[in-house]
Amino acid sequence: MLSAMSLLAKLLATSHSVVEVAFWRNFFGVLPFVIAIVAFRRREILQVKSRPGVVFTRSVIATLSVLCLFGAFARLPLADATALVFTSALFVPMFGFFFLGERVGPYRWSAILAGFVGVLVIAQPTGDWNTLGVILAIAAACFNATLSTMLRLLGRTEQPATLTFYLLLVGLLLLAPAMPFVGTVPTAKEMGLFVTLGLCGLMMQLLLSTAFKYTPAALASLFSYTQIIWATLFGWAIFGDWPASNIIIGAAIIVMASVFVVLRESYLARRGRLPHPPAPSTPAE
């Protein structure tokens, strides 16, 4: 679902502003929640049990994250952007160290360093590369790591549906004022793509939340890396983009480093040396 959402965002960004694409993604994503609240009286979705300020701030950061994410996919091949966004798992322990006071040992610091070496392999600073696309992908990863770090504060008290609802609603309200300036009238075909985009984003979030409810976080996180397989297949089948050798090597380094960080954090959490197992670090929000 996440790869499908990224594909649709890339297709729509060729004729629509990234802000407009993100707006419709939030609109059609939040619509089922509104129906559930109004028609089926699911008022518990509205209830924020603690830290409403953190919930709001997280929603604002999520809006910046999705704008950077869609901007990166608009400028880079799907597999390339996906590999760079995977660095979010590397930022999580860094932010935990700086902002939550968590201890990060030499094993995770080494994995983090190795992961960013993979970024350099992909980006090839001296080669022909879309610099803005790389910056947006790394920014999306950084924002997403911030969301995961904040989720460590909220995950014990708030329901996934509540966090997802406010994330989409706040993003919708933030982007709405820009629509008269950047929005265009979509064709019937494009409107169908916008609807599918929003539903893919919503289904992705619900499926991910369900996975992390019934499955250990480390195991669920590992399956998220299959996204790069789908991104590669979509990019090849639709855009004719096949990753170059440096992309494959760099992506492999990033994925291995990220998997090590996830497994290491899960091990430390079981030993009581982290608040709880790591939250999902995919660009799910």
221-259 confidence digits (pLDDT tens): 778 788 888 999 999 999 998 888 888 999 999 999 988
Residue 280 falls inside a structural domain: no
- The pTM score is 0.85
175-229 confidence digits (pLDDT tens): 999 999 999 999 999 999 999 999 998 888 778 777 766 776 666 677 878 888 8
Residue 283 falls inside a structural domain: no
User: Coil, strand, or helix at residue 51?
Assistant: coil
Residue 179 falls inside a structural domain: yes
Residue 284 falls inside a structural domain: no
At residue 109, what is the residue type? W
Residue 282 falls inside a structural domain: no
Taking alpha carbons only, the member of 32, 141, 130 closest to residue 77 is 130
What do you get for the CA distance between the two ends of the chain, in Å?
A: 12
Domain count, the chain: 1
Residue 54 falls inside a structural domain: yes
Q: Which domain holds residue 26?
A: 2-270
Residue 171 falls inside a structural domain: yes
Alpha-carbon gap, residue 203 to 129, rounded angstroms? 33
